[in-house]
A and B are shown apart, each in its own frame.
Chain A
Amino acid sequence: MSEIALPAVVAERQAGRAHALGRFRANDRLFAGLTRGAAILVLVLLGGVMVALLVGAWPALSAFKLGFLTSQIWNPVTNRYGALAAIYGTLVTSAIAMIIGIPVSIGIAVFLTELCPAWLRRPIGIAVELLAGIPSIIYGIWGLFVFAPFVQAHIQPAIIAAFADVPVLSALFAGPPYGIGVLTAGFILAIMVLPFITAVTRDVFETVPVVLKESAYGLGCTTWEVVRRVVLPYTRVGVVGGVMLGLGRALGETMAVTFVIGNAHHISPSLFAPGTTISASIANEFTEAVGDLYTSSLIALGLVLFVITFIVLAAARLLLLRAEARAGG
């Protein structure tokens, strides 16, 4: 009986197993397909945005050619448009935001992971995360009604007076103190990018093996030396990633900047003067833009921002690759 039954059972079991394996394979394939689809979707979307921007920007680009990038004339009356003032404003405000934001963010992250007493860690961490959740329009309104008057009354007069006789700085910080302007926009952006950079850097700082840090401390390193020689080199890639995330937000931020930058299509040597950014110009002018060339120029601005973001990201990658090659790893 058993001699007869056994092969049948085995065959049945094998069939069952084959069936199950087949199902697993099908599931795997489905899963792989879905994830691949998601990844391809991103590429398609990106390509679609790029094509749409190119098509929309074409009338402006063919009318102004390279002059679109080198002229700071932005005149809806005569229908002549140049992006230079907006590009300048975008880069300068983002640079100010990074100059202030990166050291403060890394400082917060170092404090939270290395120095902070355990009971304070969660409240500060949550506060930083809450900062990330505030809508940008709130930053804008706060910037216009609270921060700008403060800057106008207390910070700008002091800076103007302090640097009045210093050759370069006096031009960089020339009055009149409006309160709103390129520098104020940079400040607001710095506050807005803080939580992004802080959250990422804190998370990567926590991945540093304790044994590495303990060894360094054991050799007599100070906390500064541990951070400088162990933590930062170990987490380089992650930190740069966090900074890029922040920079991306700073470059593209619209609402908050629109409120406090002064929205003037001029390039002024003074950081206190009003300026504009690419995204602020688009947000301000798109609804009431009459005429194809005007609309197209605004879309071309969008294309320029797209390209700037791409260049910045590519440059960051390159920097990282070179740093890694130098570090031998």
Chain B
Amino acid sequence: MLNLAAAGLAVAANTAGSGAQTISGAGSTFVNPVLSKWAQAYRQETGVAINYQSIGSGGGIKQITAGTVTFGASDMPLKHADLEEAGLIQFPLINGASVPVVNLPGIAAGGLTLDGPTLAKIYLGTIAKWNDPAIQALNPSAKLPATAIAVVHRSDGSGTTFIWTDYLSKVSPEWKDQVGESTAVQWPVGIGAKGNEGVAGTVGQTAGAIGYVEYAYAKQNKLAYVRMKNSEGKVVSPTAASFQSAAAGAQWDKAQDYYVILTNAPGAESWPIAGSTFVLMHAKPSDPKASVTALRFFAWGYSKGKQAAANLDYVPMPDSVVKGIEAMWAARITDPAGKPLYTAMK
């Protein structure tokens, strides 16, 4: 943290010397890798430095509300009323996904299929053994042991957990009633582990365990992922293509404030447990120049940062959605007099 701050200061000092601008942002740790990558490339191209503090979504929301940063980033979208109250607008920046992983003797990656209701029952504790008829019905040919299911979840508040619990809420009324969706919830059963690495480590060591991690983490560490039956009854694997399908199938333009969570998305190819990181900005910024610079950076990321994002196993926003987002910037972000800023300075 200190190092980060020091690095940020150094960057700020450098750019101040060369007369260029520094944009500050804070929030979600999930987007930090891709934002850092973009910021580095963008600075080489334009000289504009982006100083992003990955202090967590909660901290990001607090800082943008207080106006100490130009933009905030949150893994959980804000509700319309909260945005209105703080004078903020929000838009999705990039997408990611959660992937269930298991540790079952004899079951390889992709060797197990689950659906939403079954997953919810496992996480509610009502399905407690691996050879439960519900799991067996989804995997007729698999030899499932009669051992207890060790449920593993994140112990720290996390966007990955938000996507996960939002999905369970959508597919299971029982889950919605008893637990609900948030970055941290009251888990009915299971052990909590800190971070993706904690969940992966605990699942890896516990025979009969099931957990969930961010997709990039599951892929890079070759964990035994589970295939999911999606909203159209098709069985899909967690791949870049199935995430893109989920992102493309969402009705972004119809949702107020882009309040869309990509869970249980329509589309035969769609991975059902996906979500986005949202950027929060003031609709009437006190420093219009900084806000416009930040918007230019995001526009650059949408168009030129795709490959960098894909390399880090994020899913970029579809072009059609980006067009709508930029139109929204032009309409909603204004100076105190109500004059649009984004188009005015482009």
Contact = CB atoms under 8 A, between A and B. Distances in A.
Given A284-B192, A288-B158, A179 B179 contact: no
A99 B11 CA distance: 51
A239 to B, nearest CB: 35
A295 interface: yes
A116 to B, nearest CB: 38
A86 to B, nearest CB: 12
Nearest to B207: A152
A73 B186 contact: yes
Nearest to A290: B58
Interface string B180-206: 111111110011111000100110011
A285 interface: yes
Contact of A259 (B183, B185, B190, B198): B198
A76 interface: yes
A284 B192 CA distance: 10
A76 B61 CA distance: 16
Interface in B133-181: 148, 150, 155-159, 179-181
B76 interface: yes
Interface of B is mostly: loop
A180 B150 CA distance: 12
A265 interface: yes
Contact of A284 (B155, B159, B206): B155
A144 interface: yes
A145 interface: yes
B200 to A, nearest CB: 11
Interface in A128-151: 144-145, 148-149
Given A77-B179, A176-B148, A180-B202, A290 B191 contact: no
A75 B157 contact: no
A290 B181 CA distance: 13
B191 A262 contact: yes
B318 interface: no
A274 B194 CA distance: 13
B56 interface: yes
A145 B203 CA distance: 11
B198 A290 contact: no
Interface string B202-217: 1001100000000000
Interface in A266-297: 274, 276, 280, 284-291, 294-295
Nearest to B179: A77
Given A145-B201, A264-B190, A290 B206 contact: no
A289 B192 contact: no
A263 interface: yes
A6 B198 CA distance: 86
A178 B183 CA distance: 24
A265 B186 contact: yes
A288 B157 contact: yes
B8 interface: no
Contact of B157 (A73, A176, A285): A285
A287 B59 CA distance: 6
Given A180-B191, A180-B202, A274-B191, A288 B156 contact: yes
A152 B179 CA distance: 29
A37 to B, nearest CB: 28
Given A152-B206, A287-B58, A178 B186 contact: no
A284 B205 contact: no
Contacts of A73: 186
Contacts of A180: 191, 202
Interface residues of A, number: 35
Contacts of B56: 287-288
| Contact residues on B (Cβ < 8 Å of other chain), bracket | 35 or more
Contact of A263 (B57, B76, B155): B155
B157 A287 contact: yes
A145 B184 CA distance: 25
Nearest to B150: A178
Nearest to A176: B148
Contacts of B76: 290
Contacts of B198: 144, 259
Interface string A70-103: 0001111110000000000000000000000000
A290 B205 contact: no
Contacts of A74: 186
Nearest to A145: B201
Given A152-B206, A179-B206, A284-B156, A263 B194 contact: yes
B150 A77 contact: no
Contacts of B181: 77
Contacts of B59: 287
Interface in A186-200: none
A180 B153 CA distance: 13
B55 interface: yes
Interface string B12-35: 000000000000000001000000
B202 A289 contact: no
A201 interface: no
A105 interface: no
A238 to B, nearest CB: 37
Contact of A77 (B58, B155, B186, B206): B186
Interface of B: 29, 55-59, 61, 74, 76, 148, 150, 155-159, 179-187, 190-194, 198, 201-202, 205-206
20 contacts: A78-B180, A152-B206, A176-B150, A181-B191, A258-B155, A259-B198, A262-B192, A263-B194, A264-B191, A265-B187, A274-B190, A280-B155, A284-B155, A284-B184, A284-B194, A287-B156, A287-B157, A290-B58, A290-B61, A290-B76
